Homo-oligomer: A and B are copies of this chain.
């Protein structure tokens, strides 16, 4: 699996190079299967990945951001959940924080057994295999040990709630970085302590790999109400997600509940 993921990531990295920080990549080509506009750079990235999968030749069910659900070959044995470019806007503006996210699984988010996220700027590779731990560039990673009384840092997707009314207390930090897949890896590698989707607009393609990576690093991933995630691996599904080091999970859920009242 790792080889296939690496080949996909390398192909995408090369394909998008000319569009980083360039207005030419921003033009909208069509509406993607996920219901959001597909820019030139998204299309280029996905096509690079499709070529690799086709050349590989194994029968596979693909769930990808722009094409949606596609089957290659007969009787596929596994599902590839792909976000060819997570953090499109960052890439277009030259903000150095975007990634490719690839997960291997069966029918829903609870059954992902391989996750791969590559930071396309630094080349950092985050990998997790079910029950075998999470790794950054081959070195095992663990979530942070910060408790809810420590100064912790959460990154958020969207900005529908504020630091003031949800997270702001002594020393708490908020970041808004713009690549959910990579932000989940930040939780796994203790660069942050939590990642919260504030808009319920993420897709399985954004979170499938990162979820396994956080869990294998010792963290906890639920929906915003604390329930386990078992969203079907289909492009139209929306996910809401809260990932943390585990120790601050209950507090974040409680505060979000209070805020939602």
Residues of chain A touching chain B, judged by Cβ–Cβ distance below 8 Å, are 21, 89, 93-96, 122, 153, 158-164, 167-168, 173-178, 186, 189-192
Contact = CB atoms under 8 A, between A and B. Distances in A.
Interface of A is mostly: loop
A102 B138 CA distance: 38
A66 to B, nearest CB: 18
| This protein's copies in its complex | 2
A159 B167 CA distance: 10
Contacts of A95: 175, 186, 191-192
Nearest to A153: B93
Given A95-B191, A163-B160, A168-B159, A173 B122 contact: no
Contacts of A186: 95
Contacts of A21: 191
A132 to B, nearest CB: 24
Contacts of A94: 189-191
Nearest to A176: B176
A174 B175 contact: no
B177 A175 contact: yes
Contacts of A174: 159, 176
Contact of A164 (B93, B159, B167): B159
Nearest to A165: B162
